[in-house]
Amino acid sequence: MHKTSKLLFCFPFLLCLSTALHAQNLETERLQDSKVWIDPALESINGSQPIVVWFDEQFLGQGDSFQKRTTEFKGQKRSDLRSRVIQTLKQLSENTIAQIAIDLRSLEQAGHVSDIKRHWIINGFSCSVNAKGLDAIQKLKGVAKIFRKRPVFNPSNSNQGPEFLSTIPTSTFAVNKVESYPWNIKQIRAPEVWNQYGITGKGTLNVVHDFGFKLDIPPLAQTLYTNSKEIPGNNKDDDNNGLIDDYHGFNFDAGNANINEPRINRGSIIHGNACAAMISGTFATNTTNAIGIAPESQWAPVIGAGSIEQAVEWAIEQGADTYSMSFSQPNLGALRTHWRKVMEQAAFCGVVFISGAGNFAAGNGLAPIPVQMRNPEDIPNAVLGVAGVGQDGNRPVFSSQGPVEWNTHHYKDGRVNKPDFATLNFQINCVDLEGNLSNQASGNSFAGPHMAGIVSLMLSANPELLPWEVKEILIKTAKDIGKPGFDFQSGHGFVNAYDAVTEALKWKK
């Protein structure tokens, strides 16, 4: 991605011009660290290390800023807040990077720094450094924190299927054509929303962050997102966002549009497809069996656990409403602070983040509390961490439990109540490589997408709900299960689409 470092220096002028025409930026904050904080994992550098750097000035500066700033925007519309926060974040990023651009370029030319990527979702940048580069960067103006990033998995790009669909097939879904649905769709009460309110997820975009997808199966092809400003497969960045051919989605770790990544198990179930189909699937192939909770919503695939800033920025730019993450990262170290800040600031851009609770409460994967739930489902407020139950209402033994703990250099919450909610996670019907519902699988990978489907319906019913209002409604309408009140197995309780949408409609602005 040599292109990106060039952009670093070209972009500011263009964007300054456009933002000057807009309304006043929102208030920003300072981190107030007395000196530059450096990730202990960087203490002895051998060779080149990937890092991400935070500047001192951020939209949310303090560890408790998320909660404080939500009160500032009470009653505002999500669309208004989104545009104002994006503008503020981008302006801040441009202004700050401009002050060190020349120094950074010198370090790059001297070979101490490489692969520079500016971020706006947090005010900072990623790059790779050697020991001299790290030493120099901490002396640059405004630098406050330096995290070690995980090395990006370098995927093979062997062709596993079409990367682009030449046309999006017409949806076969219509509420009055539905003849059946699997038990989980019924239990989550989605058909009652379709039938009573005619709400099917229209107008919402659900980003599914996973490890690989097959795009051409009918129930998913029909609701696949397309970036109308990008021409697919011409090897050009038509919309000038730094990404070539980001038409349906993007593989940020590979730096290309190949989301048919071969690392995944391509047996009978593809993980990304199974999750996406629970949210935005239409009818199982050649049937009238409705398999998605929000069957007229759209979905977009992304890969990029090593490039979360870019993936989230892209999601925001495409207008994402939900961002579903059915993965769990153990031992992320100090970097979990960075993930949390990315999602907190992105929540102010209107995105509801959702992650399954993980499957580490039993068996070989057993992990102790408070690390049974991992990142990103351990992130408070900005991420809904979702556990689950089976058809009989019982919690399977694998389902990860809270609480979690936040005692980092930046976040000092102590013990945090998790999970937030329960949906379904046991013997769930999953689409296969042809789009048939021929397999069952279990795990909280599926609890998250059930929640994403419900939130998609809520935001289709009431698009201006703020992310924290969505959570408030879910708390209000969740049915208490397990131990009375909040509990560390099912959170605030079992959520259902019908009560959540009914309440969301009452909150119209």
44 or 228: CB nearest Ca ion: 228
Q: Which of residues 10-69 bind Ca ion (CB under 5 A)?
A: none
Q: Pick from 187, 241, 268, 408: which binds Ca ion (CB under 5 A)?
A: 241
Strand partners, 37: 145
Instruction: Count Cβ atoms below 10 Å from residue 343 Cβ, excluding itself.
Output: 24
- 507, 499, 508: which is closest to 193 by C-alpha? 499
In the list 238, 413, 464, 503, the residue contacting Ca ion (rule: CB under 5 A) is: 238
Touching Ca ion, residues 267-286 (CB under 5 A): none
Query: Which residue's CB is nearer to Ca ion, number 318 or number 399?
Result: 318
* C-alpha count within 13 angstroms, C-beta hemisphere, residue 354: 34
Is residue 405 a contact partner of residue 369, using CB atoms and an 8 Å limit?
Answer: no
How many Cβ atoms are within 10 Å of 101's Cβ, its own excluded?
15
Among the listed residues 472, 470, 495, 475, the one whose alpha carbon sits nearest the alpha carbon of residue 485: 475
Instruction: Find the shortest distance in angstroms from Cβ 243 to Ca ion.
Output: 4
Look up residue 416 and give its amino acid.
Answer: V
Residue 162 beta carbon to Ca ion: minimum distance, rounded to whole angstroms: 15
Angle 409-414-419 (CA atoms, 0-180°, nearest 5)?
115
End-to-end CA distance of the chain: 43
243 sits near Ca ion (criterion: CB under 5 A): yes
Residue 403, preceding bond cis, omega within 30 degrees? yes
Among 56, 94, 210, 245, binds Ca ion (CB under 5 A): 245
Binding to Ca ion (CB under 5 A) within 329-368 occurs at none
Residues 178-217 vs Ca ion: string with x where CB under 5 A?
----------------------------------------
In the complex with Ca ion, the residue whose CB is nearer, 67 or 241, is 241
Sign of the alpha-carbon dihedral angle for 506, 225, 156, 7: negative
Q: Is 266 exposed, middle or buried (0-12, 13-18, 19+ CB in 10 A)?
A: middle
The nearest distance, CB 407 to Ca ion, in angstroms, is 40
To Ca ion, the closest distance from the beta carbon of 9 in angstroms equals 19
Stretch that binds Ca ion, among 159-167, 204-212, 240-248, 415-423 (CB under 5 A): 240-248
475's CB contacts (< 8 A; 6+ apart) are 492
Query: CB–CB of 325/373 below 8 Å?
Result: no
Shortest distance, CB of residue 320 to Ca ion, whole angstroms?
Answer: 16
Q: How many residues bind Ca ion (CB under 5 A)?
A: 11
Residue in 237, 317, 464, 503 binding Ca ion, rule: CB under 5 A: 237
The nearest distance, CB 224 to Ca ion, in angstroms, is: 16
Q: Which is nearer to Ca ion, 246 or 487 (CB)?
A: 246
Smallest distance, Å, CB 99 to Ca ion? Answer: 28
Instruction: Work out the burial of residue 200: count CB atoms within 10 Å of its CB; fewer than 13 is exposed, 13-18 middle, 19 or more buried.
Output: buried
CB of 415 to Ca ion, least distance (A): 43
Q: Quick one: which of 22, 177, 236, 509 contacts Ca ion (CB under 5 A)?
A: 236
Our CB check for Ca ion shows the closer of 80 and 237 to be: 237
Select from 111-119, 205-213, 243-251, 325-333 the region that touches Ca ion (CB under 5 A). 243-251
Task: Note whether 426 and 391 are within 8 A (CB).
Answer: yes
Binding residues for Ca ion restricted to 299-318, rule: CB under 5 A: none
Q: Is 69 helix (H, G, I), strand (E, B) or coil?
A: helix
Please state the closest distance from residue 247 (CB atom) to Ca ion, in A.
7
Residue from 115, 239, 317, 503 that binds Ca ion (CB under 5 A)?
239
C-alpha to C-alpha distance for 354 and 324, rounded to whole angstroms: 5
Nearer to Ca ion, 28 or 241 (CB): 241
φ and ψ at residue 439, rounded to 5 degrees? -125, 155
CA distances from 354 to 71, 295, 338, 364, 382 (A): 22, 18, 17, 25, 9
Q: Pattern of binders to Ca ion over 212-231, x per CB under 5 A?
A: ------------------xx
Count of all residues that appear for the chain in the document = 509
Cβ at position 383, least distance to Ca ion in Å: 27
The CA radius of gyration of the chain, in Å to the nearest whole number, is: 22
Q: Which of residues 455-474 bind Ca ion (CB under 5 A)?
A: none
- Shortest gap between Cβ of 85 and Ca ion (angstroms)? 22
Which of 39, 94, 163, 246 is in the footprint of Ca ion by CB under 5 A?
246
CB-nearer residue toward Ca ion: 243 or 320: 243
- In the complex, the residues that contact Ca ion under the rule CB under 5 A are 230-231, 234, 236-239, 241, 243, 245-246
